[in-house]
């Protein structure tokens, strides 16, 4: 049977397409493998690392100290695909997250804090009662937000977040727009896509009660998803192959060949660079688009100070040319590493250029200037994820999920409404698995 006839047979009988390869075991790959398994496919999951989790994982422990993550990740209540995935693999959300209404606490003052309730009403009440901003600034933000609402939270695709918020009072931009932008898009406001930013705001404000809540993980990242997902998948017969880097994929009479092994369909849930390399000959246009994406790094500086505590589990910071971090996390308040603090630097390209030692020292100076410490903080470790997220710039054309018949892409970089977030990765993985029957 030739390949066209084989694909016709699968189209007439989708359930016959049983053997599926998922290449990449990050959050997108895990989501794809879970969904494909639920749909009845026989799944083989390839992961080149020693463990699942991708760029949202815990590091292998080399000593008896606290378990470190390669970076800090948070969810919001609107990220239902991610929360549903976690529940599917057996995670107890009430025990695994510190959940609270949106709160931007600064070192020396309480920032904007939304009260509980329906998101839109909560947002309006939070703004109107936030007396640290002048009344004119609060009214200006509400009027601007109303204009975004009336336009359906859409704008010209070439608009940046800085341009979108031009004319708003400086304090609003500095204490709300810019922190939310860099947290959600990992891209500075003057370079970030306003359209994608508005989509995140829309879902946070209109996805129902609690959609704007912040969910801070109380577990190391691998314990949050990778490890329970591995157990869930293994119990359902998914073949998980760790330490396995796929070298080549090619068309075959069965559908697709992965390093010489036949599968009827394949989901590429690896990095965009690896996917581009694997598709260079079979889909050169797609490969070129995926390979052209630019990336933003994230640096996490871990500080150790026994007995110390921050004013909140997550504290917003004002970055500058001398102060790199935008957020600090008190891992003791999150219940798994007392005395350990993570200072997060998003959009960190300029700091990576200066070197991790210099970046750690700058974050330490920032910490000493902003907080009171019970014991002198010391740099515990500096971690850089140099290709943490794609640069979410205005008008960016991202590669589609469909590469060839029976060959799909999944990852936070794949075309979709979300920036490079855990939710974007999970949604793309679920979508790719759902498309397995569409050949």
> At 313, phi and psi to the nearest 5?
-65, -35
Say whether pLDDT at 406 is over 90. Answer: yes
Say whether pLDDT at 8 is over 80. Answer: no
Q: How far is Cα 78 from Cα 83, in angstroms, rounded to an integer?
A: 9
Confidence of residue 439 (pLDDT cuts 50, 70, 90): low
Distances (CA, A) of 244 to 19, 30, 46, 47, 130: 18, 16, 6, 6, 53
What confidence score (pLDDT) does residue 368 get? 98
Average pLDDT over residues 394-414: 96
Let me know: does 123 contact 205? Beta carbons within 8 Å: yes
C-alpha radius of gyration, the chain, whole number: 22
Scan for tokens 């989708």, then name that residue: 14
What confidence score (pLDDT) does residue 16 get? 53
- Cα 299 to the center of its chain, rounded Å: 14
Shortest CA distance to 51 belongs to which of 258, 227, 262? Answer: 227
Note the pLDDT tens digit of each residue in 123-182: 999 999 999 999 999 999 999 999 999 999 999 999 999 999 999 999 999 999 998 999
What confidence score (pLDDT) does residue 65 get? 75
What confidence score (pLDDT) does residue 5 get? 44
Strand locations in 211-294 (E): 214-217, 239-241, 249-252, 255-258, 261-263, 265-268
Q: How far is Cα 287 from Cα 273, in angstroms, rounded to an integer?
A: 9
- Pairing outcome for strands 265-268 and 19-23: parallel
Residue 216 token pair: 């801070």
Residue 103 token pair: 């709160």
* Cα 361–Cα 192–Cα 396 angle in degrees, nearest 5: 125
What confidence score (pLDDT) does residue 166 get? 97
Contacts of 336 (CB under 8 A, 6+ apart): 66, 67, 218, 219, 220
Secondary structure of 9-65 as H, E, C letters? HHHHCHHHCCEEEEECCCHHHHHHHHHHHHCCCEEEEECCCCCCCCCCCECCCCCCC
Let me know: does 267 contact 258? Beta carbons within 8 Å: no
* Mean pLDDT value across the chain: 92
Average pLDDT over residues 423-436: 97
Note the pLDDT tens digit of each residue in 219-275: 999 999 999 999 999 999 999 999 999 999 999 999 999 999 999 999 999 999 999
Say whether pLDDT at 298 is over 60. Answer: yes
What confidence score (pLDDT) does residue 395 get? 93
Q: How far is Cα 160 from Cα 395, in angstroms, rounded to an integer?
A: 9
Say whether pLDDT at 195 is over 60. Answer: yes
Sheet hosting strand 75-76, strand order edge to edge: 75-76, 214-217, 97-100
Is pLDDT larger for residue 16 or for residue 395?
A: 395
Confidence of residue 10 (pLDDT cuts 50, 70, 90): very low
What confidence score (pLDDT) does residue 12 get? 45
């Amino acid at each position: 049977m030739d390949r066209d006839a084989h694909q016709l047979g699968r189209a007439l009988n989708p359930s016959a397409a049983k053997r599926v390869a998922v290449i990449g075991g990050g959050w997108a790959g895990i989501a794809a493998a879970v969904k494909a398994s639920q749909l009845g496919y026989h799944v083989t999951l390839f992961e080149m690392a020693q463990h699942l989790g991708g760029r949202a994982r815990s590091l292998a422990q080399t000593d008896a100290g606290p378990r470190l993550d390669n970076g800090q990740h948070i969810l919001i209540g609107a990220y239902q695909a991610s929360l549903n995935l976690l529940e599917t693999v057996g995670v107890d959300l009430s025990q695994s997250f510190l959940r609270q209404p949106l709160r931007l606490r600064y070192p020396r003052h309480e920032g904007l804090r939304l009260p509980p309730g329906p998101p839109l009403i909560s947002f309006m009440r939070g703004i109107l009662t936030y007396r640290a901003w002048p009344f004119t600034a609060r009214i200006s933000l509400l009027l601007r937000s109303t204009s975004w609402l009336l336009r359906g939270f859409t704008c010209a695709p070439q608009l940046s977040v800085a341009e979108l918020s031009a004319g708003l009072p400086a304090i609003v931009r500095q204490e709300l727009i810019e922190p939310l932008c860099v947290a959600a898009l990992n891209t500075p406001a003057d370079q970030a896509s306003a359209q994608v930013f508005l989509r995140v705001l829309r879902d946070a404000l209109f996805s129902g009660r609690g959609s704007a809540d912040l969910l801070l993980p109380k577990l190391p990242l691998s314990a949050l998803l990778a490890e329970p997902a591995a157990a869930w998948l293994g119990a359902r017969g998914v073949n998980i192959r760790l330490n396995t880097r796929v070298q080549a994929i090619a068309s075959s009479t069965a559908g697709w060949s992965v390093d010489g092994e036949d599968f009827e369909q394949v989901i590429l849930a690896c990095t965009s660079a690896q996917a581009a390399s694997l598709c260079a000959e079979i889909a050169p246009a797609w490969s070129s688009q995926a390979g052209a994406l630019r990336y933003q790094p994230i640096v996490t500086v871990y500080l150790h100070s026994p007995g110390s505590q921050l004013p909140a589990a997550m504290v917003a910071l004002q970055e500058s040319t001398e102060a790199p971090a935008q957020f600090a996390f008190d891992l003791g308040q999150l219940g798994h590493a007392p005395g350990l603090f993570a200072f997060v630097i998003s959009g960190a390209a300029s700091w990576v250029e200066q070197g991790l030692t210099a970046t750690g020292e700058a974050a330490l100076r920032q910490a000493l200037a902003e907080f009171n410490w019970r014991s002198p903080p010391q740099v515990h470790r500096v971690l850089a994820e140099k290709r943490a997220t794609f640069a979410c710039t205005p008008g960016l054309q991202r590669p589609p999920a469909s590469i060839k018949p029976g060959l799909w892409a999944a990852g936070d970089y794949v075309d979709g409404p979300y920036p490079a977030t855990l939710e974007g990765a999970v949604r793309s993985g679920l979508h790719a698995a759902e498309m397995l029957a569409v050949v």
